Chain A
Amino acid sequence: MFTLVPLSMKNTIAERIFDFLKDFPPFNILEKDQLFEIASNIKVTYLEKNNFIFKQEAQPHNCFYVVKDGAIGLYRTMGEDQILVDICDEGDLFGLRPIIQNDHYLMSAKANEESIIYAIPVEILQEIIKTNTKAHKYLIASFSSNIKTPYAVTSNSNLFANVDSLEKTNTFSEVQTAKFSKNPITCVPSATIKEAANIMSSNRVGSILIVEDKKPIGIITDKDLRLKIATGLFSIEEKVGTIMSFPVITFPAKITIAEAQIAMIKYKITHLCITKDGTPDSELIGILSEHDIVVLHGNNPSVLIKELKRAKNVASLKYIREKTSALLNSYIEQNIPISFISKIISEITDAITIKAIELSLDEMEIQPPVKFGWLALGSQGRKEQLLITDQDNALVFEDVFNEDYHKTKDYFLKLSKKITDKLHTVGFEYCPSKMMASNPKWCLSLSEWKSQFKNWITKPSEKSIMMCTIFFDYNLVYGDSNLVRKMSKSIFKSIKSYEIFLNFLGKNALVNPPPLGFFRQFLVESDGAHKDQFDLKSRAFMPLIDAARLLILSHNVKNKNNTIERFEKLAKLEPQNKDLYFSCIDAFKILLRYRTEQGIKHNDSGRFIELNNLNKSEKLKLKGCFKPIKDIQELLNIRYNLAQMM
């Protein structure tokens, strides 16, 4: 029919469709001529609101669909109910799985608003899949995620497989295995210090491991010789055991650079022992020093920590905090796992806080009258703070006699004022709702804190529940851990005596319903200051954080503040819900990275995001995160019988 027409004939319409499709996966990974072939063979259909494209159980059409305009709801019929499983909007693909798997439709597709959809004949795609392995992989992954719903029959594949296949595969140094020195220099416990020092000198090393039955039991470094021998504290004729540091910190050979960095920061050490199975009870096979890592990795967070320790004033704290932001930036760019990033940044933030406390203590005329503890609250308490945000903190001090109370409290308020001012100078803004230790309400003695928590727990109101969600995630940054242990113990006792409190906490965790499908609904629903923006914090983060806190409290688990660690622990405690908790972890990591990226990009807290600026793969990622939120809220709903309380 078109024999008269030259091959180069213009096809404006197909070009237009080509331009539309090329931005969306999987079309963005197709060859140009493959995509043009698809664009030239599309059929365009218009659907009025509530019209069906296909119905559940029906035999598959010979084409699959892409939404051009409008929104298509995918519904699963369960008995009497129509459950909305997903909403497809601009660029979303649906109805492909049944064709490829030669199966009937598992869901119905209905226009939620008037829509224009493109129908793509499946034969063309089958041709393309044969030659384009990337497209093939993507499609296989997207099927598995499409059916990853609580109602799917089979769902053993990764929810985020499609996201992974979209991201560039990146090898980053932090997850590379660290290269440690094999054949470490050692001596036996019966050796004298002098003998050990001679072995170190002849081998030109700065450290020696003390080994018994091939197992590492201690370490002596140049620093020990300087501090303990050169000062005359010990004689060089004494046995190495008298001055060695022990126990040693051991790891298996597959330790990553990031793990090594974190361990060194955490234990404030410079050497790690590598043993066969990673425990101190197995054969020593090597040693990893901080120097090994610095050589491998120039810009290093432990350098920042060291600078912090040397810092003499607030200005240098501020400088280090700025360098930390640069470090965060490069970590995000390098696609380093978010849990590593958040651990490192949290350690640095804690170290800055500690330094601010130490500097403030130096400025005080007298030593603290009693023991005290400085608590980080909220996201810093959970160690999830990546971007610089407001400071939330509190102070607990030892109980004193009534007549000394005012004097003591005044001292700690004065100290807290100095600390919060310094943190403010560093860049941590004052908390607008004054949840800071400098506020007399949050600078309390141990027994005051105990009764405050008891009060919140046994008289749950909307406000007290909110306070609990902030104050429950406390983490001791500086001071006496005993005080905090006593406080935690008392809190768990109060919860135990008043278990309905958990139901109130559960109710609070469901305040923000799952945002599934918000990409369309949100835009029409909302107005006000953040119109057309999505509140990532309250709609995505808080439901996960609240759920993790509630569940971990219900298991009576102390000292787990971090949301990821809480879900990890829950997966162990409730193996039957393991998949759900792991998907929550995945979702939380993706959200945390996403928020950090947004924050860096817009130089703000990353809390509100412009929906219109999201590209397809970002939308896919976020949508993937909402399914676990929905599922975990359902779990809370059933477990705490919350439907009755609402």
Chain B
Amino acid sequence: MLNAPEPSATGRHLTAALVLVVALVLQVSVANRLPLPGGVTPDLVLLTVVALALVYGSLTGVVVGFCAGLASDIIPPADHTIGRYALVYCLIGYLCGMAATEMDRRSVVPFVAVAVGALAGTLLYAITGMLLGDPRASWTIVARMVPLQVFYDVVASPFVVWAVLRVTRRYERADKGARHDRFTLPAAKYRAMSSRGTGL
């Protein structure tokens, strides 16, 4: 690779950016058009932010969350106040990044983090809407949507987290070429745990 001298910084940024763009496009052109019962769809971007934050830690989580949120705010069908998703995803990225350090100790953490992240993200977004007097975020709509949304997010989370891990792992393998490196990062630990933790 071109960025051989500094693989962990540039490479991870590129990977994160790529994963985010793919998640965004999949979100608007596939996920949002699925005719799922209840008219609600899983928030792939939120799940991607959570997964990236768990892999790379809170600093990357914050930055990734902000960028993903800003992109969600301006990607074509978006029609809400710019900055709402940026704020929400930024906070979620931070919170889940904090959980990344806990992950070394407990294998349940990633699953709890995804569920909590989904709940907190959906709620926070609804609250910003209410604060701004958005007619779409009226209580009746929020009360019906949030539980379903969280449910779908939790259902979709293993797939998204798995995909993000696959991509980041491939990058690391290609970059370092050595297998023993995988266990030096907390991220690698998470991978090892998550692959074995599915049975719990």
**Do A and B originate from a single complex?**
no
